[in-house]
Structure 1
Amino acid sequence: MKVLILAGGLGTRLAEETTIIPKPMVEIGGYPILWHIMKLYSHYGFYEFIILLGYKGYLIKEYFANYFLHQSNVTFDLSNNKMEIHEHHCEPWKVTLIDTGQNSMTGGRLLRAKPYVKDEPFMLTYGDGVSDININALIKFHQNHKRSATVTAVQPEGRYGTIVSNQDGLISNFIEKPPGDGVWINAGFFVLESKIFDYLTEGDATVFERTPLESLAEDKELYSYKHTGFWKCMDTLRDKQQLQEIWDRDQAPWRVW
């Protein structure tokens, strides 16, 4: 099963980094967050990736063009213009990089990948979110329900602590940053059947999270897989710093490999 990763957005809320590089190339622990996402999938045996490029996509191409060299021990014989690879530490990945347009929406980018996935089921996620989700359990859930699409749902951490008190102000309970109000949100990590391409009817302007998912829900073709473990999206510089702090403490839950 191929893994598609959306990596073409402008990332304007992380402008401190994305004026120079695309958001999927922003580093956590010295590696792009895109690499972290790919390591999660490959831990479960999925090695074939299709990266949907847009903004500054050439930098992602250059990263993978040089990846093998960067992961290898090498001797350069400059006098004879030769290079010898001694050993390498690369993952067994096959990476297809598709230019999906500078201004395409998420559904438009996905539509351009149709010739590469054909009639096979596939996975899709965003290039800025990490999780300790069990990919095999997600796929099994999708297959058991026999519908066109499964989206992973999570309860995001609240931004503020919750206080429960009586009229006199005596606090009976305090919860620091609880899950937000019982609401489940779209966390990516989709499993999709090829039928979903029939719902991408607006070309490059298709926003996957709007009409396509709404229509799938109306047709009873969309299920949610509720993940109660770790998930975090790197939307802002604060998010990036928090992920880096977790990594530096060697407590990154998404590092399952």
Structure 2
Amino acid sequence: MNSISVVILVGGIGSRFSAINEPPKQLSKLNQNVILINIINNFKRFGFNHFIFPLGSKKSFFIKFFNNKKNINKYNFNIIKNNSKNHKLKLNKINISYFDAGENTKKFLRIKKSFNYTNNDDILVVYGDDLANVNLRNLVKKYNLTKRKKAIITIYKKRSQYGHLIVNKSGDVKKFIEKPPHEHPINIGFYLFSKKILMSYNKNNLELESHFLPRLTKLNLLKSYEHKGYFYSINDKKELMSAKIKLKNL
């Protein structure tokens, strides 16, 4: 998968997880490794080896993590110092590019700026606080079937965490449904975009999910790929504890 670079979005404040002067959730330990390394490891399994980080809030924590000599040896990092697209990737390394995208920059513009750090015409974009064992080989295969002329979004059929009741007008419970599946799947990211599609939209101050993706939908340029493995979103420390219990092998 050397023809596709991976953009990992880690620039948010994450105020529900930690204070502004505390490490970001992506660098929190989840069993054997930190969350960020668990995300990278799933990509490594499928041959991806170039990761771009458009940094924002808490950027100093990430820079320190990437440049720590112990981490460079432990995780086999190759830190690309010149921070440009004119670099040579090392095939047996985890190649890391990072740049300061700005504190308040929208995700869409962060993604577009990431093309300045790769020679590839396609990028795979993921959120830095979600854990999912997506079959990336099948994801890319579906993207290639569109001849890379449409974007891909990964969806997941989630079950409700609550028991649902069907109640009549008198308030009588007619049926109890324990944790039913939601009617519609959710968006879990894992976007595959071509440079051509991204650069065709020049309203950089608008948001990825609420503006760009609906535009692609309207133009019939967005295909979906259904993920059927696990998916955990880490928004607070309670969700981190839940993921630790259920993902003991990570």
Please say whether Structure 1 and Structure 2 have the same fold, judged by a TM-score greater than 0.5. yes
Moved over 3 A (4+): 69-72, 162-171
2:219 equivalent in structure 1: 219
Amino acid at match of 2:223: Y
- Structure 1 residue 168: deviation in Å? 7.8
The separation in 1 between residues aligned to 2:119 and 2:74, in whole angstroms, is 33
Q: Answer yes or no: is 1:243 the counterpart of 2:247.
A: no
Of 4-13 and 151-160, the range deviating more from structure 2: 151-160
Cα deviations by residue, 1:184-204 (Å, 9 ceiling, x for unpaired): 12101111111232244233x
Total equivalences in the alignment? 227
Write the deviation string for residues 150-203 of structure 1: whole angstroms up to 9, x where unpaired: 0101123312124579998686x643x333x22112101111111232244233
Matched, 1:139 2:140: yes
Separation (CA, whole Å) in 1 of partners of 2:27 and 2:180: 30
Q: CA deviation at 1:145?
A: 2.2
Please say if 1:6 is aligned against 2:9. Answer: yes
> Counterpart of 1:209?
209
The share of aligned pairs that are identical, in percent, is 25
Deviation readout 1:205-252 (Å, 9 max, x if unpaired) = 33111221111111111111111221111112221110111234x4xx
> CA offsets per residue over residues 35-56 of structure 1, 9 Å max, x none?
1110000011111111121111
Name structure 2 gaps, 5 residues minimum.
Answer: 77-91
Quote the RMSD (CA, aligned, Å): 2.5
Given residue 137 of structure 1, which amino acid in structure 2 is its aligned partner? N
In structure 2, do the counterparts of structure 1 residues 174 and 4 end up closer, same or farther at CA, with 3 Å as the change threshold? same
- Any residues of structure 2 matched to 1:8-23 within 5 Å, and which? 8-15=11-18, 19-23=21-25
1:1-257 equivalence runs, <5 A: 1-15=4-18, 19-66=21-68, 67-70=71-74, 92-118=93-119, 120-146=121-147, 147-162=149-164, 174-175=177-178, 177-179=179-181, 181-203=182-204, 205-248=205-248, 250=249, 255=250
TM-score (norm 1): 0.79
Distance 1:103 1:6 in 2: 13
The CA distance in 1 between the partners of 2:66 and 2:180, in whole Å, is: 39
Q: Judge which range, 141-150 or 162-171, deviates more.
A: 162-171
Kindly tell me: are residues 117 and 200 of structure 1, through their superposed partners in 2, closer, same or farther at Cα, counting changes over 3 Å? farther
Q: Give the structure-2-normalised TM-score.
A: 0.81
> SS of the residue aligned with 1:68?
helix
Amino acid corresponding to residue 215 of structure 2 in structure 1: S
- 1:246/1:20 CA distance change after superposition, 3 Å: same
d(CA) in 2 for partners of 1:4, 1:228 = 22
Tell me if structure 2 keeps the 8 A contact 1:8–1:22.
no
